Amino acid sequence: MRRSLFVAAMLVLFGASALAPLGRTASAQVGFFGSATIEPSKETTASVEEVIGRVMSFDHDGDGAVGADELLDRMQPLMDRGDRDGNGRLDRAEVRALASAPPRSKNGVGFPFSGSYGFGDEIGFSSRSHVGGALGDLRLDGATLERALLVVSDFMDALEARASSELLEAVEPLLTRGQLSNFRDALERPQPAPVLTFRSQAEGGNPVVVFRGPPIPIERRIEQFRLAPAAQETALAAVERYRETTRPGDAERPVLLAALEGILDNEQRENFRAALERRPVVSTGLPFVVPPPPPVPEPVNLDRTGFRIRSVANVASGEGPAVVTQQER
Amino acid sequence: MSRRSTGRLVLQVACGILGAALAGDHVAGALAPAVDTTGAPAERALRLPDVPYRYVEPALPPHFLEALAERFDNTPPDNPVTDAGARLGRVLFYDTRLSASDTVSCGSCHVQARAFSDPERFSRGFEDGRTDRHAMNLVNLRYHPRARFFWDERAGNLEQMTLLPIENRLEMGQSLERLPEVLARDSRYPALFEQAFGDEAITPDRIGRALAQFLRSIVSYQSRYDEGRALVDSRADDFPSFTHDENFGKALFLRNCALCHLPSQDAHFIMTAAANTGLDDDTANTDGGVGDILLNPAELGHFKSPGLRNVEVTAPYMHDGRFATLDEVLEHYSSGGKDHPNKDVRVQPLNLTDSEKAALVAFLRTLTDPTFLADPRFSDPFEDGALRSAE
């Protein structure tokens, strides 16, 4: 019910703001997530029984074991590794022994990349960044992008305000006054703002947005309070609801898309819708050091969009913007 | 030798000399075909340049030379690419005597114009049998950082990889013990081995090392993507030389594909580890990939991914060539694939719109490198290569 009321309110709000004339002609874009560390989401893998089933699928004569002549050429080394009784065949027990203690994948020359990944929205990456990034990917001209970005920014402001209010209400009975104040400060403290960097077209560059890394996950704030287990569980559940609320869901996306009518054409809105529905997957490890970004001039605040502009030069170029994150360079 | 064969050989030699003269190359004295007086298979005319092609230190663009991109290079210290080594490797790569029936060379299934992949779904072996996997492209193998090769990563380096198809019972069926003797009968090989390794000895190890050098020299770096990348500070910038659709496709690629296919640098469109992309959900009766080799349950259905450079010309796609077009590949990733227990967490339904798919294909086509696909340094040096392949 509360969600329905909120959607209705958003419809009213964005029906007007989307059509409001804009006084500036800044081109901007929002982008990817920064870096973070999470555990891989993968929880299940194939089983030893499935490996046995795979190898036994080569038992063409049905005698309950696989002979060398039944195995593929590339699988012949399995005979050397697994034929413990030396009868020239692999039976189920021998395959089970191999599958239960397989050799580790070799890492070649020792390249350091590891592979753990997860959903950005599960680990506290900003939904605002995801929404803005999806908008930026459309490669809109500068004026169109600015108009769309203002709509998106207002939309996310409203979404986040509602989510924050609900979260504070939920955790208030669980925290001391000092903890609540601390938590409110953390929650309401402006997130590290994405930074827009406009390079002069005369210099041959396109406008670029640089994102800072995500803030400290608010889950960690809760954990730092060392609440009683039941209270911590309740508080973390409230944080999870907060995350869901800040993520434009099935009910909110049409509202945002409707607000963008007249700014984006139908194809652009359809592509934006598809991008919003995706859950961004991010790398969860940082196995290498990325050089720091080059120094940039002092920022100039641009209040309404929530972005900070590093420098402004030929911003109304009409050229499509681009996205850079610190992680990506 | 039959009269027909003799006549063909004479014609080939004549045409070869004429063609070489027109092309500015020549049939080098030491490499000219020997007169067959023994009844052994005739030596095929080789056309190699007077001054060996330069294979070392190609003029790579800056994004190949950044620190992280350079770390992708799997060249071992004991087998660096040399001009003479890669030249020998090139000759070996296209020599049909590497197969037991003298009918199939590496280049038979790895066609340069197709970025060294096979236009056919399954490749034809030396006795006309068919492989059960598609021949993977050989582009930029030098930059596969873990140096694991084949779809199931069973080869631990290029030196080892190059020898396995030669001995494979279906592919080339040649004995590595016999091969040096076969090659030594050709009067041109001792000189080529001497130039590459310092003496005339022909060994399986040297054959593998020379082939590996040639493969490491096969580097594609002159695509429209590379040209565009050189014009901007960041890969995320719109490339001025791209169309709107290509830039849109690039943005989509960076957001949805680059985590796997362009990891943390801008040069190598290469996955750093094998993965299960949800192609199948039947663990028993479909190719197990890495899992078939290691029998590790967690790697059942994992496959190495080929690099994406020149992907436009490497159809059909996937380890079994099941997808005939890039559109079909994108449809797979758009749907999110099947529910294999090992499916990678990164493979999520993308639900791409039609215009997004078109933009992604437009971007992928910018990875085509026409210069590379026709580079004479990588071409068949045998005069009768095309004729032999057609036989």
**Yes or no, beta carbons of A137 and B341 under 8 Å apart:** no
Q: Note the pLDDT tens digit of each residue in B81-136.
A: 999 999 999 999 999 999 999 999 999 999 999 999 999 999 999 999 999 999 99
**Yes or no, beta carbons of A57 and B292 under 8 Å apart:** no
A51 in Cβ contact with B297 (< 8 Å): yes
Q: Is residue B119 part of a domain?
A: yes
Between positions 288 and 327 of A, the ones with CB within 8 A of B are 288, 290, 319-324
Q: How many CB pairs under 8 A join A and B?
A: 195
**Yes or no, beta carbons of A329 and B252 under 8 Å apart:** no
Between positions 157 and 196 of A, the ones with CB within 8 A of B are none
Q: Quick one: B304 and B161 in the same domain?
A: no
Name the amino acid, one letter, at B329: V
Nearest residue, CB atoms, A206 vs list B168, B237, B274 = B237
Residue B107 to chain A, least CA–CA distance (Å): 21
Residue A188 to chain B, least CA–CA distance (Å): 29
**Yes or no, beta carbons of A204 and B355 under 8 Å apart:** no
Residue B316, preceding peptide bond in cis (omega within 30° of 0): yes
Q: Which comes out higher in pLDDT, residue A230 or B43?
A: A230
- Say how far apart CA B363 and CA A61 lie, in whole Å: 50
How would you classify the pairing of strands A208-211 and A322-325?
parallel
Q: Is residue A240 part of a domain?
A: yes
Q: Is residue A9 part of a domain?
A: yes
Q: Is residue B4 part of a domain?
A: no
Nearest residue, CB atoms, A53 vs list B233, B284, B352 = B284
Q: Quick one: B100 and B189 in the same domain?
A: yes
Residue B245: pLDDT band by 50, 70, 90 thresholds?
Answer: very high
pLDDT score of A105 = 63
Please give the structure tokens belonging to residue B370: 């026409």
Residue A219: pLDDT band by 50, 70, 90 thresholds?
Answer: confident
What is the total count of domains within chain B? 2
- Say how far apart CA B154 and CA B163 lie, in whole Å: 12
Structural domain for A215, as ranges = 2-37+116-325
Between positions 150 and 209 of B, the ones with CB within 8 A of A are 150, 152-154, 156-157, 168-170
In DSSP terms, A323 is beta-bridged to: A209
| B168 vs A contacts (CB less than 8 Å) | 73
Q: Is residue B68 part of a domain?
A: yes
B202-217 mean pLDDT = 98
Q: Is residue A43 part of a domain?
A: no
A213-231 mean pLDDT = 81
Q: Quick one: B321 and B177 in the same domain?
A: no
Q: Quick one: B62 and B143 in the same domain?
A: yes
| A102 vs B contacts (CB less than 8 Å) | 294-297, 299
Between positions 249 and 268 of A, the ones with CB within 8 A of B are 267
Q: Which of A12-21, A209-218, B260-269 has the lowest mean pLDDT?
A: A12-21
Between positions 102 and 131 of A, the ones with CB within 8 A of B are 102-103, 105-109, 111, 113, 115, 117-118
A164 in Cβ contact with A177 (< 8 Å): no
Residue B194 to chain A, least CA–CA distance (Å): 29
pLDDT score of B166 = 98
Any idea what the Cα angle at residue B241 is, between residues B240 and B247, rounded to 5°?
Answer: 70
Q: Which of A104-113, A143-152, B188-197 has the lowest mean pLDDT?
A: A104-113
Between positions 223 and 252 of A, the ones with CB within 8 A of B are none
User: Across A132-146, A295-309, B373-387, which has the greatest mean pLDDT?
Assistant: A132-146
| B132 vs A contacts (CB less than 8 Å) | 72
**Yes or no, beta carbons of A108 and B148 under 8 Å apart:** yes
| A322 vs B contacts (CB less than 8 Å) | 232, 234, 236-238, 251
**Which are the contacts of B354, defined by CB distance < 8 A and separation ≥ 6?**
none
| A282 vs B contacts (CB less than 8 Å) | 259
Q: Is residue A319 part of a domain?
A: yes
Q: Quick one: B200 and B290 in the same domain?
A: no
Give all strands (DSSP E) within chain A, no chain letters.
Answer: 65-67, 89-91, 117-119, 195-197, 208-211, 281-283, 300-302, 307-309, 322-325
Q: Is residue A297 part of a domain?
A: yes
What CATH number corresponds to the domain at position B295? 1.10.760.10
Q: Quick one: B359 and B339 in the same domain?
A: yes
pLDDT at A315 over 60: no
pLDDT mean across residues, chain B: 89
Residue A22: pLDDT band by 50, 70, 90 thresholds?
Answer: very low
- Say how far apart CA B26 and CA B35 lie, in whole Å: 18
Q: Is residue B14 part of a domain?
A: no
Q: Quick one: B325 and B377 in the same domain?
A: no
Q: Quick one: B52 and B121 in the same domain?
A: yes
Name the amino acid, one letter, at B302: H
Q: Quick one: B101 and B143 in the same domain?
A: yes
B299-317 mean pLDDT = 97
Interface check B130 vs A, CB under 8 A: no
Q: Which of A158-167, A319-328, B78-87, B236-245 has the lowest mean pLDDT?
A: A319-328
pLDDT score of A243 = 86
Q: Quick one: B322 and B212 in the same domain?
A: no
pLDDT score of A221 = 85
Q: Is residue B113 part of a domain?
A: yes
Q: Note the pLDDT tens digit of each residue in A58-92.
A: 999 999 999 999 999 999 999 999 999 999 999 99
Q: Which of A72-76, A221-225, B205-209, B216-220 has the lowest mean pLDDT?
A: A221-225
Residue B42: pLDDT band by 50, 70, 90 thresholds?
Answer: low
How would you classify the pairing of strands A195-197 and A307-309?
parallel
Q: Is residue B362 part of a domain?
A: yes
- Say how far apart CA B110 and CA B314 lie, in whole Å: 10
pLDDT score of A12 = 45
Q: Quick one: B200 and B301 in the same domain?
A: no
Residues of chain B above pLDDT 70, percent: 87
- Of A96, A135, A143, whose CA–CA distance to A257 is shortest? A135
Q: Across chain A, which distance is largest between two alpha carbons, in Å?
A: 84
Q: Is residue B17 part of a domain?
A: no
Phi, psi for residue A314 in degrees, rounded to 5: 50, 45
pLDDT score of A118 = 72
Handedness of CA A119, A124, A126, A127 (dihedral sign): positive
| B74 vs A contacts (CB less than 8 Å) | 108-109
A227 in Cβ contact with A174 (< 8 Å): yes
The secondary structure of residue B382, as a DSSP letter, is: B
| B170 vs A contacts (CB less than 8 Å) | 73
Interface test with A, best of B136, B160, B237 (most A CBs within 10 A): B237
Q: Is residue B141 part of a domain?
A: yes
Residue B44: pLDDT band by 50, 70, 90 thresholds?
Answer: confident
Structural domain for B276, as ranges = 224-368
Residue B34: pLDDT band by 50, 70, 90 thresholds?
Answer: very low
Return the exposure string of B214-253: e unless at least 16 CB atoms fall within 10 Å of the residue's CB, then b: bbbbbbbbbbbbbebbeebbbbbbbbebbeebbbbbbbbb
What is the total count of domains within chain A? 1
Q: Indicate whether this complex's ipTM tops 0.90.
A: no
Residue A293, preceding peptide bond in cis (omega within 30° of 0): no
| A125 vs B contacts (CB less than 8 Å) | none
pLDDT at A151 over 90: yes
Q: Is residue A251 part of a domain?
A: yes
Nearest residue, CB atoms, A44 vs list B232, B240, B341 = B341
**Yes or no, beta carbons of A105 and B296 under 8 Å apart:** yes
Q: Is residue A73 part of a domain?
A: no
Number of neighbours of residue B176 by Cβ within 10 angstroms: 16
